[in-house]
Amino acid sequence: MPAPEPPPPSVGAFHYTRHAPRLPALQDGRETRRHAVAIAGGGPVGMALALGLAMQGVASVLLEADDTVCTGSRAICVSRRSLQILQRLGALEAFLAKGLPWTAGRSFYQTTEVLRFAMPHDAGHKLPPMLNLSQYYIEQFLLDAIDRCNAATPGRIDLRWGTALSGFAQQADGVQLQARNALGHYTLDADWLVACDGGQSFVRKALGLELHGAAYEGRYVIIDIELPSRHPVERRAWFDPPWHRGGTVLMHPQPDDIWRIDYQLRAGQSTEEALTPAAVQAFVQRHLDAIGEGHLPWKPVWTSVYRAGAMTLGSYRHGRVLFAGNAAHAMPIFGVRGLNSGFDDADNLAWKLALVAQGRAGHALLDSYSQERIAAFHTNAESAMRSTEFMSPPSRGFELLREAALSLAERHRGIAQLINPRQTEAVRYVDSPLSTPDTHAIAGPLPGEVLADRPLPGGGHLLDHTGPGFALLCRPAHAAALAGDAGALPLALLPLQSDDGPTLLLRPDGHVAARWPGLPPAGALARALARASCIHHDEETTA
């Protein structure tokens, strides 16, 4: 076997590690162990799903074709909603320690500031609305959480580096997979396969599936540079600046003095030419000169190119194969809905797949994953597409509208809101089959909505008390009466509501499944819990 390649160059304080491939115990080329869940793709979504399953007590095998975490900044903005998910996965502390929280941004037309936006944030919020962290750190911190999980429960997450999925075949009771690495080829069996293998998904292509939706012509060059700038942590956008007429430039800070610059290629500009070292050097220096930082030393770290699109599969479940993250959908970068949507996919799927894998719920629960997350895609895509059409006008008509809005924005603050990038936020599952409809008018979070975190009178925050399963927020006086009404699934009782607060049934992903103005009628809680988990009393649960 040839000597291993050296790891990729360090970036700031981040040092890469190459992970050696290995073979499991085999008999005649077939793994002797059967897996409950196989996950193709060990990026952020695949690792988050594996951690989510582990929190529910389900083991998984994770096949990652590369032998390191990713190179380049890639997805860098982590939303408050995603941070809440990461808290449940046991990875939050490292994110907060290294990431750069931010709450505001500015937009310029040529050199004039025309918008300053602020995302909701106050002293009652435990987590920032947005946190910047390069994807290699995101993946490393999830990997660290996997190591801690395996230290507590050995073998719960079997992460196989340098191992590619090379084929698979569905069977009545599972999926047979073909894997290969530098040590050889082998067959393994799993009850379920989840494709988290990115925008060029092997699994999606093998099934002959395609993403459908809107693809845009606008192309963006992405450049990471190391720059000792002391500019505040915020998002900046320049429309039609003098140093890049007719285009848009974005700039974001990252840890370790790494700065992300995205700039729009104009019609006729060559992608290959724009990525040459000379072109990168010229553009970055011109941009830094224009914003008053051209005197600072800098060096390029990573470059790439991006084309906007909002596309999805028609279903995220195909028999025993499920899709999540970029394998299931593509999102424009504007409003940072890509990785954050992927974390939401993993959060939605993990508890549902765990219940099905454990034989405690029927397969219809997995159909609800597809239904809810496709509805969320369309909600996200609507906002993302509006932002994309403004950032990268698809026609001359859109360009004229953008020029008009930008030229008027400085004097008319209402028009300036058209420039607002509309950052991602938690999505409500409006028509979820898992939600119990209200029978009374009730104030507070609606069925299908994410329960917002809040500080508690005695200290701490509400979401600190929710665990991996279903939870019931109720008045302290009602806790004893509700203790025996949960039905077949375990339920954590949280007597944290005030004496006049509603009773809320929370799903494991934090969405409200049902609510009552006070004490639920006899049997109502058990029925709502059965509905939220697709367990029907008149049917046998299918494994």
**Total H helices, total E strands in the chain:** 13, 24
What is the model's pLDDT at position 326? 95
| pLDDT band at 466; cut points 50, 70, 90 | confident
HEC string for 481-536: HHCCCCCCCCEEEECCCCCCCCEEEECCCCEEEEEECCCCCCCHHHHHHHHHCCCC
What is the model's pLDDT at position 543? 33
pLDDT at 385 over 70: no
pLDDT at 156 over 90: yes
Mean pLDDT of 232-247: 93
| pLDDT band at 500; cut points 50, 70, 90 | confident
pLDDT tens per residue, range 13-36: 999 999 999 999 999 999 999 999
Are 225 and 69 within 8 A, CB to CB? no
Q: According to DSSP H, which parts of 5-158 are helical?
A: 44-55, 80-88, 92-98, 135-152
Mean pLDDT of 484-489: 71
pLDDT tens per residue, range 295-348: 999 999 999 998 878 899 999 999 999 999 999 999 877 666 789 999 999 999
Collapse the DSSP code of 264 into the 3-class scheme (helix H, G, I; strand E, B; otherwise coil) and give the result: strand
